[in-house]
């Protein structure tokens, strides 16, 4: 057990399904879905709605997380595919990644069942606010670059590999905090916060933010607070988190999809002008002391003492890249092998351009050049977080 690293706030049981174009094509025909209906923002009240949203993500090669009105819809769709049961949540997947390097932590959970007890990282301890066993699975669909689906007269072809999460998870929507959290934080050197994105009630969110402020009062002032944004089910609620916690957050992190959602338009991740403009917009909206943005081409830290986090960025990219290539169960040897790979030349060019433009206030590190037929796209952001935290933990 490592009481110096505390990761929260919720964990999930995930159904990872294997993409099957035949099943998808049959469902498109069954539900008579037309290209004009495709929308990532459709309210998901049925299996048909879920399929419409999924196809829109595939068409754009985008990833995201969407709320489903009933867990029965998740179960119904998942039952049509081969699947495996895993654990998710940013803290839990980060802990798996850290364990490969021998770094353990204490996890804060809001739900528990036999799947969780069986599959949690063995070296890490946990506290939980759950009063009874519950199971509300998250459906995770990953697709590779070039995944094809026919919708009416249109053939969709995904331009990128990615994953989409569909969930109805009352424990994470409530995100009740354990009374033990404050005690766990008293000896902590780092506290990772994520999970507020699942809350859909403004009243509930405000209560939880009051709770987390109370627990944070017991965290040593020298401890680092890392916040992973994640896609909010109700985007307008994210402002409450910033208002309540921005003064206490040391590292405010997000992925490329979340960055583009905040700025409200697509960003060419390889265009220096577009990226710099987006970072300016992002900084205005989220005036954190240090912003971290992680993408498939590069990752960067923006703000005061950004250069202090170069090792953490490199470790995070290396960890996420190892999962992308190796999937679950990778080892420290796999991690070290990934570090020997060449960097992506397009990412390196962008990184050089960003550094030339923004100077010392940015530290931008290119991603690796990765070629693999069946990449793992699930949990890459969480694994990035694990690599970032592990690098900081191993500095001593």
Q: What is d(CA 49, CA 34) in angstroms, rounded to the nearest whole number?
A: 12
Q: Kind of pairing, strands 190-193 and 162-167?
A: unpaired
Percent of the chain past pLDDT 90, that is, above it, reads: 85
pLDDT tens digits along 195-206: 999 999 999 999
pLDDT for res 153: 84
Q: What is d(CA 323, CA 21) in angstroms, rounded to the nearest whole number?
A: 24
Q: What is d(CA 317, CA 338) in angstroms, rounded to the nearest whole number?
A: 10
SS3 154: strand
Angle formed by the axes of helices 90-99 and 380-393, nearest 10°: 50
pLDDT for res 2: 64
Domains present along the chain, CATH in parentheses: 5-12+88-135+169-393 (3.40.1190.20)
Q: Which of 328, 167, 160 is nearest to 257 (CA)?
A: 160
At residue 150, φ and ψ (nearest 5 deg) are -95, 125
Q: What is d(CA 99, CA 231) in angstroms, rounded to the nearest whole number?
A: 26
Distances in whole angstroms, Cα of residue 268 to Cα of each of 2, 257, 265, 278, 359: 40, 12, 10, 10, 21
Do 193 and 108 form a contact (C-beta atoms < 8 A)? no
pLDDT for res 396: 63
pLDDT for res 127: 97
pLDDT for res 362: 98
Q: What is the mean pLDDT of residues 187-213?
A: 97
Non-local (6+) Cβ contacts of 294 within 8 A are 253, 254, 255, 256, 316, 317, 320, 381, 384
- Provide the phi-psi class of 138: left if phi over 0, else alpha when psi is between -120 and 50, else beta: beta
Q: Using pLDDT thresholds of 50, 70 and 90, give the confidence band for residue 5.
A: very high
Q: What is d(CA 242, CA 219) in angstroms, rounded to the nearest whole number?
A: 19
DSSP per residue, 56-82: HHHHHT--EEEEBS-HHHHHHHHTTS-
Q: Out of 94-103, 162-171, 359-368, which region has the weakest mean confidence (pLDDT)? A: 162-171
DSSP per residue, 316-339: HHHHHHHHHHH-TT--HHHHHHHT
């Amino acid at each position: 057990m490592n009481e110096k690293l505390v990761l929260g706030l919720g964990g999930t049981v995930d159904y990872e399904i294997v993409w099957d174009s035949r099943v998808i094509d049959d469902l498109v025909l069954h539900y008579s879905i037309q290209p004009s209906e495709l929308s990532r923002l459709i309210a998901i009240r049925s299996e048909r709605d879920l399929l419409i949203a999924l196809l829109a993500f595939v068409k754009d090669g985008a990833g995201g997380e969407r709320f489903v009105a009933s867990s029965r819809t998740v179960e119904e769709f998942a039952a049509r595919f081969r699947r495996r049961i895993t654990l998710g949540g940013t803290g839990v997947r980060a802990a798996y990644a850290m364990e490969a390097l021998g770094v353990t932590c204490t996890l804060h959970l809001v739900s528990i069942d036999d799947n969780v007890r069986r599959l949690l990282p063995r070296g890490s301890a946990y506290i939980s606010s759950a009063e009874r066993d519950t199971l509300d699975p998250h459906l995770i669909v990953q697709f590779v670059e070039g995944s094809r689906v026919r919708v009416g007269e249109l053939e969709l072809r995904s331009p990128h590999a990615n994953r989409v999460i569909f969930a109805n998870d009352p424990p994470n929507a409530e995100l009740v905090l354990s009374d033990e959290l404050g005690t766990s934080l008293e000896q902590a050197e780092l506290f990772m916060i994520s999970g507020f994105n699942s809350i859909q009630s403004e009243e509930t969110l405000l209560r939880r933010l009051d709770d987390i402020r109370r627990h944070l009062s017991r965290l040593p002032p020298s401890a680092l607070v890392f916040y992973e944004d994640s896609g909010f089910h109700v985007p307008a609620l994210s402002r409450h988190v910033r208002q309540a916690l921005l003064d206490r957050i040391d590292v405010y992190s997000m992925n490329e999809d979340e960055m583009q959602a905040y700025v409200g338009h697509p960003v060419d991740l390889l265009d220096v002008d577009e990226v710099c403009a987006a970072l300016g917009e992002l900084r205005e909206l989220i005036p954190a002391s240090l912003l971290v943005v992680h993408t498939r081409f590069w990752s960067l830290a923006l703000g005061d003492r950004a250069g202090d986090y170069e090792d953490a960025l490199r470790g995070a990219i290396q960890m996420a890249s190892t999962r992308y290539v190796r999937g679950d169960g990778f080892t420290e040897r796999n991690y070290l092998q990934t570090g020997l790979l060449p960097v992506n030349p397009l990412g390196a060019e962008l990184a050089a351009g960003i550094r030339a433009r923004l100077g010392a206030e940015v530290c931008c590190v290119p991603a690796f050049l990765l070629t693999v037929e069946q990449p793992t796209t699930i949990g890459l952001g969480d694994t990035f977080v694990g690599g970032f935290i592990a690098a900081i933990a191993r500095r001593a």
